[in-house]
Amino acid sequence: MGRILSIDYGQKRVGIAVTDSLQIIASGLTTVHSKDIFVFLEDYLSKEDVETIVVGYPVTLKNEGAQSLRFINPFLKKLEKKFHDINIEIYDERFTSKLAKIAMIEGGMKKKNRQNKALTDKIAATIILQSYMEFKKNKFR
C-alpha cells in the first residue's frame, strides 16, 4: 500500500502532508515555494511509494469555485500530466487555514509562531489529508 500525499497549493507556498505507508496517520511533511513544487515532488516520489495525491480544492460557501482556482486549475493540469501514473484527487479545502490557526492556538503555540504562514500551510495540508482519509474510510463502510 502506498502513501497518500496532500497538497495545500497557494500562489506563494505549498503545504504538504503525507500518510504513513499503512495510511493510518496523517503528518505534516513540509512547505515549499510554489515554484519549487514539481522539483520537490519528483524527488519525493522517486524515493517514496505514493499511490494518491490529494489536492485541496477551494470552494465557496455557495459551492462555487473560489477565485484562487485560476492558479490551482493550471497546477492540477500540470500535475496530472507529469504524474499520470498516480491517482490525483481534489478535495474540498474550505476552512482548513482557519482550522489550522485554531489548532495552533489550542495547541498552546505562541503568537509569533502562529504567524508563520508556512507552518499554517503545512497544518492545513494535514487537515485536508486527515479529512480525506476520514471521508474515504466512511465511504467504504
Q: What pLDDT score does 95 carry?
A: 64
As beta bridge partners, residue 90 has 55
Q: What pLDDT score does 16 carry?
A: 97
108-140 confidence digits (pLDDT tens) = 777 777 676 787 888 889 989 998 998 888 876
Element (H, E) at 81: helix 69-82
Q: Where are the domains of the chain?
A: 3-139
Residue 94: how many CB atoms within 10 A of its CB? 16
Confidence label for 44 from pLDDT (cuts 50, 70 and 90): very high
Q: What pLDDT score does 66 carry?
A: 63
Q: What pLDDT score does 63 carry?
A: 65
The CATH number, out of the four listed (3.40.50.410, 3.40.50.2300, 3.30.420.140, 3.20.20.70), of the domain defined by the range 3-139? 3.30.420.140
Measure the CA dihedral 59/134/99/8, to 10°.
Answer: -60
Q: How many alpha carbons lie under 13 Å from residue 3 in its C-beta half-sphere?
A: 20
Do 120 and 7 form a contact (C-beta atoms < 8 A)? Answer: no
Q: What pLDDT score does 119 carry?
A: 79
Do 30 and 117 form a contact (C-beta atoms < 8 A)? Answer: no
57-112 confidence digits (pLDDT tens) = 887 666 666 666 788 899 999 999 999 999 999 998 766 666 666 776 777 777 77
